[in-house]
Chain A
Amino acid sequence: MEIVVLVKQVPDTANVGADAMKEDGTVNRAALKAVFNPDDLHALELALEMKDKYGAKVTVITMGPPKAVEILRESLYRGADNVFLLSDPKFAGSDTLATSLILKSAIEAKAKKFDIIMAGRQAIDGDTAQVGPQIAEKLNIPQVTFVTEIESIKNNTIKLSRLSDEGTEVIECKTPILLTVEGGFNTPRSPRVKRMFKYTTRVKEIHSVIFKSIETKNYEPNQNSVNQMMKELISEHIIG
Chain B
Amino acid sequence: MKHGNVAVFIQQHNGKIENVSLELLGKALDIAHELKTNVSAYLPCEKAGDMPKILFSYGADNVYIIENAELKEIISIPYAKAVVEAVKKDAPGIVLFGATRAGRDIAPRVASSMKSGLTADCTELKIGPYTDNKTGKTYEQLLYQIRPAFGGNIIATIINPVRHPQMATVREGVMKMKTPDNSRKGQIIPLTITLSPVDLSVKIINKIVKEKKVNLTGANIIVSGGMGVGSKENFDRIRELADIIGGEIGASRAAVDQGWVSKEHQVGQTGVTVRPKLYIACGISGSIQHKAGMDQSLKIIAINNNPEAPIFNFAHIKIVGDLNTVIPMMIEAYKKQDNK
Number of interface residues of B (CB under 8 A): 44
Chain A residues with CB under 8 Å of B153's CB are: 13, 16, 20-21, 27
Q: CA A124 – CA B34 in complex, angstroms?
A: 34
Contact call A166/B206, Cβ cutoff below 8 A = no
Shortest beta-carbon distance from A149 to chain B in Å:
12
A145 touches B150 (CB 8 A): no
B77 is an interface residue with CB less than 8 A from chain A: yes
Which residues of chain B have C-beta atoms less than 8 A from A134's C-beta? 108-109, 111-112
Residues of B within 8 A of A146 (CB): 101, 105
Given A27-B154, A126-B149, is A136 in contact with B109 using a C-beta cutoff of 8 Å?
Answer: yes
Secondary structure of the B contact surface, majority rule: mixed
Which residues on A sit within 8 Å (CB–CB) of B115?
A: 97
Contact partner of B102 among A138, A143, A165, CB < 8 A?
Answer: A165
A126 touches B154 (CB 8 A): no
CB distance A137 to B151 under 8 Å? no
| Cα A79 to Cα B208 with chains together (Å) | 33
Write out the residue numbers on chain B whose beta carbons fall within 8 Å of the beta carbon of A173.
201-203
Partner of B13, one of A21, A129, A166, A172: A166
Q: Chain A's nearest CB lies how many Å from the CB of B19?
A: 11
Chain A contacts with B in 66-120, Cβ cutoff 8 A: 95-97, 100
Chain A positions 129-179 with a Cβ under 8 Å from a chain B Cβ? 129-134, 136-138, 141-146, 159, 163-174, 177
B108 contact from A129, A141, A169, A177, Cβ within 8 A = A129
- A152–chain B nearest beta-carbon distance, Å: 12
A61 to chain B minimum Cβ distance, whole angstroms, is: 18
| Complex CA distance for A131 and B210, rounded to whole angstroms | 28
CA distance A97 to B117 in the complex (A): 7
Contact indicator B207/A96 (Cβ below 8 Å): no
How close is B199's CB to chain A, nearest CB, in angstroms?
8
Min CB distance, B37 to chain A, in Å?
Answer: 25
Q: Pick the contact of B207 from A20, A145, A166 — CB < 8 Å?
A: A166
Bound-state Cα–Cα, A168 to B118, Å: 26
Is the beta-carbon distance between A97 and B111 smaller than 8 angstroms?
yes
A164 vs B102: C-alpha distance when bound (angstroms) = 7
A-B Cβ contacts below 8 A, count: 136
Shortest distance from the beta carbon of B80 to any chain A beta carbon, whole Å: 7
User: Considering the chains assembled together, what is the distance between the CA atoms of A95 and B120 in angstroms?
Assistant: 12
User: Measured between alpha carbons, how far is A129 from B102 in the docked complex, in Å?
Assistant: 12
Across the interface, do B112 and A127 meet the contact criterion of CB distance under 8 Å? no
Residues on the B chain within 8 Å of A100, using CB = 112
User: What's the Cα separation between A95 and B149 when bound, in Å?
Assistant: 14
Q: Which residue of A lies closest to B172 (CB)?
A: A165
Whether the Cβ atoms of B101 and A165 lie closer than 8 Å is yes
**Contact digits for A24-53, partner B, Cβ 8 Å, 1 yes 0 no:** 011100000000000000000000000000
Given A130-B108, A134-B111, A145-B101, check contact A169 B76 (CB 8 Å). Answer: no
Q: B208 to A172, Cβ gap below 8 A?
A: no
A20 vs B153: C-alpha distance when bound (angstroms): 10
Q: Is B305 an interface residue (CB 8 A)?
A: no
Bound complex: CA A138 to CA B109 (Å): 9
When C-beta atoms are compared, the residue in chain B nearest to A159 turns out to be B205
Does A235 make an interface contact (CB < 8 A)?
no
Let me know if A14 is at the binding interface, CB within 8 A. Answer: yes
Instruction: Given the known inter-chain contacts A134-B109, A142-B201, A164-B101, please indicate yes or no for A125 contacting B150, CB distance below 8 A.
Output: yes
6 further contact pairs, Cβ within 8 A, besides A25-B154, A172-B205: A13-B151, A13-B153, A16-B151, A127-B121, A144-B76, A165-B212
The 27 sampled A-B contact pairs (Cβ below 8 Å) are A14-B151, A16-B151, A21-B153, A96-B108, A97-B117, A97-B118, A100-B112, A128-B120, A133-B76, A138-B112, A142-B199, A142-B201, A143-B109, A145-B104, A164-B101, A164-B102, A165-B18, A165-B100, A166-B13, A167-B210, A168-B208, A169-B204, A170-B205, A170-B206, A171-B202, A173-B203, A174-B201
> Which A residues lie at the B interface, using CB under 8 A?
11, 13-14, 16, 20-21, 25-27, 95-97, 100, 124-134, 136-138, 141-146, 159, 163-174, 177
Chain B residues within 8 Å of A, Cβ to Cβ? 11, 13, 18, 74, 76-77, 80, 100-102, 104-109, 111-113, 115-118, 120-121, 149-151, 153-155, 198-199, 201-210, 212
Listed from nearest, the 6 A-B pairs whose CB atoms lie closest are A13-B151, A167-B210, A170-B206, A133-B108, A137-B112, A134-B112
